[in-house]
Amino acid sequence: MDKKNTTSSSSSGKENLGLDSNGYSQLGAGGELHQIGGGEHPALTTNQGVGLSDNQNSLRANLRGPTLLEDFILREKITHFDHERIPERIVHARATGVHGFFELTASLKQYTTARILTEVGEKTPVFTRISTVVGGAGSIDTPRDVRGFAVKFYTKEGNWDLVGNNIPVFFIQDAIKFPDLVHAVKMEPDRGFPQSSSAHDTFWDFISLTPESMHMVMWIMSDRTLPRSLRMIEGFGVHSFRLINDAGKSTFVKFHWRPKLGLQSTIWDETVKISGADQDFHRRDMFEAIKAGNFPEWEFSVQLFTQEDADRFPFDHLDATKLIPEELVPLKVIGRMVLDRWPNNFFAETEQVAYCPSHVVPGIDFSNDPLLQGRLFSYLDTQLSRLGSPNFHQIPVNAPKCPFSNHQRDGHMQMAQPVGRVAYEPNSLSENSPREMPIKGFHSTVVAETGEKIRIRAESFADHYSQARQFYLSQTTYEQAHIASALVFELSKVEHVHVREAMVGHLLHIDNDLAKRVAAGLAFDKMPDAPKAAAPVQEMEPSPALQIIGKMKDTLIGRTIGILIADGSDGAVIKNIKKAAMDAGANVKIIAPKVGGTKLADGSMLAVDGQLAGTPSVLFDAVAVILSDKGAKALSTESAAIDFVRDAFGHLKALAVDKGGQALLKIANVGQDAGVVDTNDTNAFIAAAKTRQWDREKSIRTLA
């Protein structure tokens, strides 16, 4: 049997005729079977049986023009997809939501009339929802996954929803492929697993046949998808948008969020163990930070460029699989966002909040990005399905904080009580009914669109490898090793050899050494052939801004230090380590075999924050081990204590140890390096705790 043809035979014979068990046709388009890729396949059709000539591109006004509303194929496909799950979100179901405010620090008045971007010093309420993509609402916080980063601004002119991710690019170029992407990455429908994981056949089969995804693959295989904290991720609007000034002039813009705490990720093995120790690790981290008054903060930046600038780019900015390097268009910081209030009720706010990219205010408009164009339709349609009513905007978390009025009436769950006989416009029967605002109302950008309406990608969208190569070559050697190892891990979960081979073939276009490392990790006898590239691979200058390690801040603010103690530990040493860590801005938690408290060497009792068996070192950024000889001996037969120090060392963390701590390290067969310091040298410990001991990794772990 052809490995790509999964059609099975049936004793009834109906399947051989293209009929289901009830005798209805499954083939469509005349019930024809077509020879495609060496096997017979039924024709791909709409739900009305209309055969599709192109399932890869939505219908545009011209090659780079806007998507047309008449594209019934796109609308049917997206609509069906949006309504597949009730009431949980199809994607981004697992989330953390927080209230806060946005403050503008630099005006963009010359570029836009949007008051939120022109009134310096104004504080605008926001609700931010950060989410994983693949898993359901009951999945874990820490899988290798993209994080959604959505912000609802309650502006004076209406709500503005900036709905993005913690990665500036996406898998696909056209919204018509979104259902296929999500169907591929979600748990496989015949078995219901894996949950919240991309490491399976259907995802990588789709990706191997979708070269435009290669840039995004580099990002998701990087440490960007293993964040240490939601407070330590970036956010991106992904698409190009437009700003419009009072003269009607349009300027393109891309939006960026930069965390004040800097970027930090975890190690893959650490991530896996965190998910077992605390499935709510990220949500709990955010909750505890806000409860303690350590409010997360992000800088808000923009990249501004004209059509003339865009024409000189070596890529098409309307292609959502591309980013604009900061070296090409620098970021301009214009504001900050502070998250300072946890929701009163998770369901009422975090679960019911509804974001739509189509929610913009006057002075902000859309580009012709075909992925964005599809999202403008899809998100509203999804909210109508998930929340069950066109009145979802009346739910408090969704309602504008400025006055709003129109002639829309009734509908399921209508909470307003309009008065009067008039529910239309124009009218002459009411002196105070809502009227349009020709001057101050929303205006779309005036753009001339000409050409033949067509269902095809522009040639400027054909380069699928250049920015993927740029991203990989921009990483530190440690991060490159992590990307290669992640690819080996994911592809090792793929059963079909031809899919693994196809992916390594794509990697040859990105970097030959990367392809060889992954091929070796998969035990290939020979390298597969690289597929023909649709466009030549360009050599782009590396962009250090794409790293994590190179951008980590030299700080312990927002980080947590764990101190392991037992009966007989030295209270003075504990106090010194705790003071040094807290003076550096870290949180400190005391861990002991029993949660009730521990008797110190001087006979006093010290309250502890966590029991050893339930509070492993994976929950901390660095650890100190302060033990008496007796305490070390007692813990030497405790596997949780052995794992505590062994994992801390294996996850490249700094360790401060006294004599008893050294004894435990020796029993656990933990080595010595610059990141293992004496508890008396608090300065050395604090310096080492601010980063990972990256040079340690090659001596303790085999990487691709």
Nearest to 135 by CA among 146, 126, 125, 124: 146
Residue 21 has pLDDT above 60, yes or no: no
Tell me which of 23 and 87 has the higher pLDDT. Answer: 87
Give me the torsion for CA of 442, 446, 449, 455, rounded to 10°: -30
* Active site annotation includes 34: no
Q: How many CB atoms lie within 10 A of CB 407?
A: 12
- Would you state the pLDDT for residue 15? 40
Task: Please identify which of the residues 57, 99, 159, 165 carries the catalytic annotation.
Answer: 165
CATH code: domain 76-394 is 2.40.180.10
| Residue at token pair 């998770």 | 346
According to CATH, where is 1.20.1370.20 located in the chain?
A: 468-550
What whole-number distance in Å separates Cα of residue 463 and Cα of residue 321?
A: 10
Least confident range of 289-303, 431-445, 599-613: 431-445
For the cut 50, the answer to whether the pLDDT of residue 446 exceeds it is yes
Map residue 33 onto helix, strand or coil: strand
- Tell me what pLDDT residue 396 has: 94
Task: Say how many residues make up the chain.
Answer: 704
Domain with CATH 3.40.50.880 in the chain: 558-700
Alpha-carbon torsion (474, 479, 480, 486), positive or negative: negative
Q: Is the pLDDT of residue 10 over 60?
A: no
The helix-helix angle for 512-521 and 477-492 (nearest 10°) equals 40
DSSP state of 274: H
Confidence of residue 84 (pLDDT cuts 50, 70, 90): confident
Which pLDDT band holds residue 460 (cuts at 50, 70, 90)? very high
Between residues 550 and 199, which one has the greater pLDDT? 199
Q: Say if residue 59's pLDDT is above 80.
A: yes
Task: Answer left, alpha or beta for residue 112, where phi above 0 means left and psi between -120 and 50 means alpha.
Answer: beta
Q: What is the rounded distance in angstroms from the CA atom of residue 429 to the CA atom of residue 256? A: 48
CA distance 331 to 338: 20
Q: Which residue has the higher pLDDT, 85 or 315?
A: 315
Once rounded to an integer, what is the mean pLDDT over residues 665-690?
Answer: 97
Residue 398 bears catalytic tag: no
Instruction: Please state, in angstroms and as integers, the Cα–Cα distance from residue 415 to each residue in 175, 382, 392, 396, 419, following that order.
Output: 34, 21, 10, 11, 13
CATH tag, 558-700: 3.40.50.880
| 627 contacts 664 by C-beta, under 8 angstroms | yes
**CA 475/CA 472 separation, integer angstroms:** 6
Structure tokens at 549: 């390690």
Average pLDDT over residues 98-124: 97
Angle between helix 682-689 and helix 571-583 axes, rounded to 10 deg: 50
Determine the topology of domain 468-550 in CATH. Hemocyanin, N-terminal domain (1.20.1370)
The CATH 2.40.180.10 domain(s) of the chain lie at: 76-394
Question: The pTM is what?
Answer: 0.89
What's the first-to-final CA gap in the chain, in angstroms?
A: 34
State the pLDDT at residue 39: 67
Catalytic residue among 92, 256, 317, 359: 92
Q: What is the pLDDT of residues 511-548, one digit of tens each?
A: 999 999 999 999 999 999 999 999 999 999 999 999 99
Q: Which residues pair with 605 in a beta bridge?
A: 599
pLDDT on residue 85: 65
Q: Which amino acid is at 477?
A: T
Return the higher-pLDDT residue of 486 and 41. Answer: 486
Amino acid occupying residue 176: I
**List of residues 6+ apart from 137 with CB closer than 8 A:** 88, 89, 93, 94, 351
Give the model's pLDDT for residue 28: 39
Residue 80's CB: how many other CB atoms inside 10 A?
A: 12
Angle at 142 between CA 140 and CA 146, to 5 degrees: 105
pLDDT for 46 beyond 80: no
For residue 206 the two structure tokens come to: 């789709």
Using pLDDT thresholds of 50, 70 and 90, give the confidence band for residue 34.
low
Residue with more model confidence, 434 or 499 = 499
- Asked if the model's pLDDT at residue 346 lies above 60, the reply is yes
Confidence of residue 624 (pLDDT cuts 50, 70, 90): very high
Residue with the larger pLDDT of the pair 478 and 418: 478
Residue 86 is predicted with a pLDDT of: 53
Measured between alpha carbons, how far is 284 from 296 in angstroms, rounded to an integer? 14
Please enumerate in sequence order all residues whose Cβ is within 8 A of that of 272, keeping only pairs 6 or more positions apart, or say none: none
What percent of the chain clears pLDDT 70, i.e. is strictly above it? Answer: 94
pLDDT above 80 (res 19): no
